[in-house]
């Protein structure tokens, strides 16, 4: 808290990070929200994850989008939650722009850099595009997106990082639009385990970066050598869980608080839900949508679903 007594202007993002991190570390089961993985360093590591041989998610989704882009509905306005660096964009916009001269694109992301790059590059390739970027967390952004019926993209299996109630709340706020959302499907547990425990250790580095980020931004003194990445499939909950495990009894300072950890104690950092077709139908119905169409790959590992 000392950092806020200097008279320096408050940075709302840092304050939210501080409040959420300290709240999570004060719980009996310590947690840190996975949305804080994505600072500049974490985003770079995530880009690497997307190219790992074990992480089938990105390439399977790409193949589905590439094969079926021409079948997706057209709209005057396309809103994309979590646009990232727009890697999927050409696949979709080539199809969207083939039959229309103008299109309004509303990219939504918390990363300023991702939005700036999208706004800089897209109009060169697609001159008829107007960009209205929104920099906000997804929940907040729902109140800021255009009201006219649009096509909303929620891809990258991002829905998997929400629990059931959160996905229903998020999708309910999009009623009135058509939503193209991607779901990672339940599959062989060995494949899932490998995807989140890659041989090169990039996922471990991505997980540990959360502690490094606390050190960088919140004056923490986590000793990264004292923490290990743990990831496993929780079959009862139908999700991959990621944790950080304390390698010994230790005290860690974050701002002016000290947090005590026992040997083997875990910080729960992420859930990544895997879905069945029935679960997708249930989430759609509870959010006030129906599943208009589901596109999948040959092995049914991944689904891109149109909700209307």
> Applying CB under 6 A, which residues contact ligand AVI?
49, 57, 156-158, 160-161, 196, 203, 270, 272
Give yes or no for a contact between 126 and 107, defined as CB atoms under 8 angstroms apart.
Answer: no
Q: Rounded distance, CA 21 to CA 194, Å? A: 28
Quick one: tokens of 116? 């700036």
Minimum gap (Å) between residue 57 Cβ and ligand AVI: 5
Minimum gap (Å) between residue 36 Cβ and ligand AVI: 12
Spatial neighbors of 278 by CB under 8 A, at least 6 apart, are none
Minimum gap (Å) between residue 262 Cβ and ligand AVI: 25
Q: Which is nearer to ligand AVI, 123 or 238 (CB)?
A: 238
Q: Which is nearer to ligand AVI, 289 or 302 (CB)?
A: 302
Q: Which is nearer to ligand AVI, 161 or 209 (CB)?
A: 161
Of all residues in the shown chain, the one whose CB is closest to ligand AVI is 272
Minimum gap (Å) between residue 1 Cβ and ligand AVI: 31
Give the sign of the dihedral formed by CA 17, CA 20, CA 22, CA 28.
negative
Sequence-ordered strand ranges (E) for 101-246: 103-109, 129-131, 134-135, 151-154, 178-184, 227-234, 239-246
Minimum gap (Å) between residue 20 Cβ and ligand AVI: 18
E strand or H helix at 304 = strand 302-307
Give the sign of the dihedral formed by CA 70, CA 72, CA 73, CA 75.
negative
Q: Which is nearer to ligand AVI, 52 or 252 (CB)?
A: 52
Q: Which is nearer to ligand AVI, 203 or 287 (CB)?
A: 203
């Amino acid at each position: 808290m000392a950092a806020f007594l200097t008279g320096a202007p408050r940075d709302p993002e840092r304050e939210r990070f501080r409040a959420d991190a300290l709240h999570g570390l004060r719980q009996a089961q310590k947690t840190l929200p996975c949305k804080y993985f994505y600072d500049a360093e974490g985003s770079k590591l995530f880009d690497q994850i997307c190219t790992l041989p074990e992480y089938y998610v990105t390439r399977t989704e790409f193949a589905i989008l590439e094969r079926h882009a021409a079948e997706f509905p057209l709209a005057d306005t396309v809103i994309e939650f979590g646009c990232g660096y727009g890697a999927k964009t050409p696949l979709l916009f080539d199809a969207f722009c083939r039959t229309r001269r103008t299109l309004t694109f509303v990219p939504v992301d918390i990363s300023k850099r991702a939005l700036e790059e999208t706004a800089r590059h897209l109009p060169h390739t697609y001159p008829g595009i107007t960009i209205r970027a929104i920099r906000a967390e997804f929940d907040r952004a729902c109140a800021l997106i255009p009201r006219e019926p649009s096509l909303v993209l929620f891809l990258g299996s991002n829905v998997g990082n929400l629990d059931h109630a959160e996905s229903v709340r998020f999708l309910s706020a999009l009623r009135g639009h058509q939503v193209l959302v991607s779901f990672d499907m339940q599959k062989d547990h060995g494949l899932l385990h490998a995807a989140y425990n890659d041989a090169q250790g990039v996922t471990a580095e991505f997980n540990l970066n959360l502690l490094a980020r606390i050190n960088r931004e919140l004056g923490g003194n986590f000793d990264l050598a004292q923490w290990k990445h743990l990831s496993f499939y929780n079959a009862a909950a139908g999700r991959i869980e990621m944790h950080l495990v304390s390698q010994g009894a230790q005290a860690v300072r974050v701002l002016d608080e000290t947090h005590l950890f026992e040997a083997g104690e875990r910080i729960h950092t992420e859930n990544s839900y895997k879905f069945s077709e029935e679960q997708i139908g249930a989430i759609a119905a509870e959010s006030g949508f129906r599943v208009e169409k589901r596109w999948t790959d040959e092995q049914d590992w991944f689904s891109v679903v149109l909700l209307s």
